[in-house]
Amino acid sequence: MEVDLDVKVINAGSPQAKGRVERLFGTLQDRLVKELRLAGISTIPAANRFLDRVYLAKHNHKFSLPPKNNTNVHRPARKTKAELDAIFSFQEERVICNDYTIHWRNRLFQIGKRQPYFLLPRTKVTVEERLNGKIKIKYKGQYLKMREIDPKRIRRPRANHSLSVKPEKPRPRQPFIPPKDHPWRQRFSAQVRISSERKVEALV
């Protein structure tokens, strides 16, 4: 934000550097608490009303001092209103899902087909939440066309429970019985015949 606005932040880490601001905190923490007790205030809404209607005007009248230098040191804004709205926004990084949607704080946004850039899933984009509540999605300085959709209306495949199909049991396999003219049987018959002839020759 500092770079976009061309400003420099000077941090004050000590009470001496903070000056009047630090003294003001001490005054408020001491005087304001006592004023609230004297007024019989014990709730936050009542305290806010007391500050606006009674305390602030009396406090400023008593403790305000004229500035030593009346020169206005404010610079004119060199940004357009659209640019300032983007700068003063809450920005978070998100990733485009495979269905070209973006999930952000329990909300779902659908990316349009026509965009300034060719986008792929897993692309990182920036989600801007403006001060007025509007949502913008930016990629490389360009705002994407998108629309918010209801996550509950997304169709998801459902399991079909109407058909109860039972898995078929494997059928028992029957042992293979070769026919009489099978080569296995012919080879076995020839071996039996040769063995029988040898036994007969041995007996003779």
pLDDT in tens, 7-58: 888 887 776 667 677 677 777 778 888 889 999 999 999 999 999 999 888 8
Helix (H) or strand (E) holding 197: helix 183-203
Q: Are 139 and 95 in contact (CB under 8 A)?
A: no
What pLDDT score was predicted for residue 10?
A: 80
Question: Which residues have C-beta within 8 Å of that of residue 148, sequence separation ≥ 6?
Answer: 107, 108, 109, 110, 135
pLDDT at 40: 94
For tokens 């400023």, name the residue.
60
Q: Quick check: 190 pLDDT over 90?
A: no
147-167: pLDDT as tens digits: 999 887 666 555 554 545 566
Q: Name the pTM for this structure.
A: 0.53
Rounded CA separation 89/136 (Å): 10
Nearest-angstrom CA–CA distance, 30 and 4: 39
Q: Is 36 exposed, middle or buried (0-12, 13-18, 19+ CB in 10 A)?
A: middle
Beta carbons of 11 and 83 less than 8 angstroms apart: no
Count the Cβ atoms, other than its own, within 10 Å of residue 137: 19
23 CB-side CA count, 13 A = 6
Q: What is the mean pLDDT of residues 191-201?
A: 59
- The three-state secondary structure class of 68 is coil
